[in-house]
Amino acid sequence: MNALLKTDPEIFNLVKSEEAYQKRTIRLIASENYTSKAVLDACGTVFQNKYSEGYPGARYYQGQVNCDGVERLAIERAKALFGAEHANVQPYSGSPANLAIYLAFAKPGDTVLGLNLSHGGHLTHGSKASATGKWFNAVHYSLDPVTGLLNYDEIRRMALEHKPKLLIAGHSAYPRQLDFAKFREIADECGAILFVDMAHFAGLVAGGAHPNPVPFADVVTTTTHKTLRGPRGAMILCKEKHAKAIDKAVFPGLQGGPHNATTAGIAVALKEAMQPEFKEYARKTVENAKTLAAELTKRGFSLVSGGTDNHLMLIDLTNKNISGKEAAVAMENAGLILNYNTVPGETRKASDPSGIRLGTPSVTSRGFGADEMRKIAEWMELACSHSQDNGKLEAIAKETSALCERFAVPGIE
């Protein structure tokens, strides 16, 4: 990065400082990961210089010989990896990908049905704070207050009552697998488009560690940077009969030119996700999450739904007498990076809620296993019980960074 150092030492120094930070801290944010050096290389290329409005073979700008090649590879790999009839790899990120689904299938004021934000849904599933909640009539299903699980009878009841245009399945904080056959049945009963947002668990699907929604759903969106381990971006997978509507919604409906360098990075990440090692990563991500969940439960942490069968955990800290934000800050000071989160039946405000969310994709990409999960649980408990003791938190931070020194970070030399 000599050119960057010469042109802009301030940014260069922040990049170097971030590299060091990512090396010495334990990243437990469920939506984050580390891309490979190959993905980073593909993103920092001259494909940054090209405009390609349109789709391969049908562009509005000349000079697409190489851009078409990149986008075609990304599309073919996405279709093969997930068994999809059609793929659009142009959405700038998960939120615009989701907005494209509304644009393709609904009119402002139409009803959509998705998971409640404070029960693990996403803002773009019709939250009042989001355009999707302001422009559409969003109704929400919730988790069962006793089991912490989705209640498919209740989803069916609401679907038949509200007759939504879109039935949305998917989440940002639900620690269990989804029953896509049930969602399909409900969508058919109420005449809805089944829209699955697999942003969080797409990497597990690719690696065979989570059921694949693609055969069941009309349309599936995903980010490419979470468990899938690619650059920041998104894709839409759908049945051939919806291909035109989806492509038109992305461009020209919502976006201009695609980010070709990102598309190149997505293509590389998809190739990596087709390798045997990726299956192993997906399997270990779930295994690590289960180990960490068991260790945390042993230490008195209360996990929503009682555990996990994917890559993430949601913890209600009410019984630990500490708020989600206080715990997240204490853990950050101890070198454990995660986020505070609302929990089902939340009684506090979203800016300082009762819970924390954590996940194992990043630490698994880094090579952590069962021993490290046990240490993390121990440190989390210590950080919670000593949240006001900066000396103690600093002592834990020394231990977490010593552990980190033993594990390389993918993509960072």
Ligand X SMILES: *Cc1c(COP(=O)(O)O)cnc(C)c1O
Is residue 53 part of the annotated active site? The answer reads: yes
Report helix, strand or coil for 136: coil
Q: Specify the pairing of strand 86-88 against strand 111-115.
A: unpaired
Is 35 one of the binding residues for ligand X (CB under 6 A)? no
Residue 32 binds ligand X, judged by CB under 6 A: no
Q: Identify which of residues 54 and 233 has a Cβ nearer to ligand X in the complex.
A: 233
Q: Which one of 64-72, 169-177, 321-329, 371-379 is the stretch in contact with ligand X (CB under 6 A)?
A: 169-177
The residue from 35, 64, 95, 339 that contacts ligand X (CB under 6 A) is 95
The residue (of 29 and 139) whose beta carbon lies closer to ligand X is 29
Q: Are 362 and 33 in contact (CB under 8 A)?
A: yes
Residue from 31, 33, 116, 339 that binds ligand X (CB under 6 A)? Answer: 31
- Per CB under 6 A, does 93 bind ligand X? yes
Count of CB atoms within 10 A of residue 322's CB? 19
Would you count residue 199 as binding ligand X (CB under 6 A)?
yes
Beta-carbon contacts of 396 under 8 Å, excluding residues fewer than 6 positions away, are 334, 335, 379, 382, 383
Cβ 68 to ligand X, closest distance in Å? 25
How would you classify residue 148: left for phi > 0, otherwise alpha for psi between -120 and 50, otherwise beta? left
Question: Is 283 a known active-site residue?
Answer: no
Nearer to ligand X, 70 or 178 (CB): 178
Q: Is 94 in the site for ligand X (CB under 6 A)?
A: yes
> Which residues lie below 8 Å from residue 18, measured CB to CB, with a gap of 6+?
none
200 part of the interface to ligand X, by CB under 6 A = yes
Does residue number 175 form part of the binding site for ligand X (CB under 6 A)?
no
Interface with ligand X includes 197 (CB under 6 A)? yes
Candidates 149-157, 192-200, 238-246, 280-288; binding stretch for ligand X (CB under 6 A): 192-200
Total site size for ligand X, rule CB under 6 A:
14
| Candidate ranges 74-82, 88-96, 238-246, 274-282; the one touching ligand X (CB under 6 A) | 88-96
Q: Go through 373-390 and write b for each residue having 16 or more CB atoms within 10 A of its CB, e for each that does not.
A: bebbbebbbbbbbbbeee
- Catalytic option among 23, 232, 348, 392: 232
357 is catalytic: no
Long-range contacts made by residues 141-148, C-beta under 8 angstroms, separation at least 24?
Answer: 141/113, 141/114, 141/115, 141/116, 142/115, 142/116, 142/344, 143/116, 143/119, 143/174, 143/304, 143/305, 143/344, 145/344, 145/345, 147/305, 148/304, 148/305, 148/306, 148/344
Torsion over CA of 325, 329, 335 and 337, rounded to 10 degrees?
A: 30
Nearest approach in angstroms of CB 250 to ligand X is 14
Minimum Å distance from CB 4 to ligand X? 25
Q: Distance between terminal CA atoms of the chain?
A: 12
Q: Using CB under 6 A, which of 114, 133, 170, 361 touches ligand X?
A: 170
**Of these residues, 197, 272, 295, 346, which one is catalytic?**
197
Structure tokens at 337: 């990076």
Which of 88, 130, 223, 354: binder of ligand X (CB under 6 A)? Answer: 223
Residue 393, token pair as written in the block: 């938190």
Residue 392 annotated to the active site: no
The yes-or-no answer on residue 141 being catalytic is: no
Which one of residues 25, 88, 116, 124 is an interface residue with ligand X (CB under 6 A)?
Answer: 124
CA 288 to chain centre: 17
Kindly tell me which of 31 and 310 has the beta carbon lying closer to ligand X. 31
Say how far apart CA 292 and CA 22 lie, in whole Å: 21
Contact flag: residue 353 with ligand X (CB under 6 A)? no
The verdict on whether 51 is a catalytic residue reads yes
Contact 410, 37 (CB under 8 A): yes
Q: Tokens 């209740």 appear where?
A: 154
Residue nearest ligand X, CB atom distance: 94
Query: Which listed residue (124, 132, 222, 223) is catalytic?
Result: 223
Contact residues: ligand X, CB under 6 A: 31, 93-95, 98, 122, 124, 170-172, 197, 199-200, 223
